[in-house]
A = this chain, B = another copy of it.
Amino acid sequence: MPAVTLDVLTIGNAIVDVLAHCDDALLDEFGLAKGTMSLVDAERAATVYAAMGPGIEVSGGSAANTATGVASLGGRSAFMGKVRDDEMGAIFTHDLRATGVTYTTPAASLGPATAHCLVLVTPDAQRTMTTHLGIAGELSAADVDEELVNGALITFVEGYLVGLPSAESALAAAVKAAHAAGRQVALTLSDPLWVGSQRDAFCALIAHVDILLANEKEARQLTGKADAEAALAVLAGWCPVVAVTRSERGALVADGTVTVAVPAEPLSSVIDTTGAGDLFAAGFLLGLTRELALPDCARLGALAAAEVIGHLGARPQVTLADLAEQAGLL
């Protein structure tokens, strides 16, 4: 077996987020379903942007956020995803590397611009996302660095890639390489609307997944079950390890031998839920690589999620390893 060089490698869309506060009327005006992500073309993205208030640009992307979370917890992480050699691509690359994440996917010198996601944060702290994928949607098997996959204990795939024509080959290559090297593959369902529209592609991939993460809506969407417990039971029949997050009601986790409910971290303030799921994944997956007990993996996830919910933006603003140490989890 090749040497272990990484705890978690994540694969996903390389995106710069444009965050702005807005009221519910703006979501209604554009027919956006609160708490979901919509893929749009450049023209539609420009129309929504024109209607938005002043924004804050922050590097994002679900799997990239997870990689920064793992690094902030003291783990070794890397990210694979595609940017252009433009200003946003340079910002994305800088921010990821500055947090200690290994990021070596070459920036494209041709093709559409680096992806951006318009994140509309409503007064209830929910985020509703409009993404123009640009070059990120062109990730392909040629971008998969098998050496990184071979060295990573877990290769974690963002569900937003599932069903994208080009990314399918990248995911197949990564999964094959990971399993050939005796590693584990993890997947997050990412978004209930996306799960609904890409059901077959998700089911095909899940057959090769060792660790599955989802929030309650996504889990119910995929399984057709009415509640999180029933959805978890179905998912636990498909994958060896499953975590279903339920916002302020904490998470349910199962590994074939135990099923446990873990409470959410108490929060002093809920500012912006962007990235909460991504950071839960960071803690949960790093916990698994450190062979923590399953409930402690979920607690580590909840702790990481709570930090990013307390501020605008989807990446930690403090060193999560310190919080985890104070909590006795790492």
Contact = CB atoms under 8 A, between A and B. Distances in A.
B56 A313 contact: yes
Given A54-B98, A55-B91, A55-B98, 5 more contacts: A21-B317, A54-B68, A56-B56, A56-B57, A87-B113
Contact of A94 (B54, B58, B68): B54
A113 B317 CA distance: 29
Instruction: Please state the number of chain copies in the assembly.
Output: 2
A208 B56 CA distance: 37
A146 to B, nearest CB: 28
B54 A99 contact: yes
A57 B18 CA distance: 9
What class of interface size applies to chain A in its complex with B? 20 to 34
A237 to B, nearest CB: 40
A193 to B, nearest CB: 27
A315 B55 CA distance: 11
Contacts of A88: 87
A97 B88 CA distance: 21
Given A87-B86, A87-B87, A94 B50 contact: yes
Contacts of A53: 98-99
Interface string A49-77: 11011111111000000001000000000
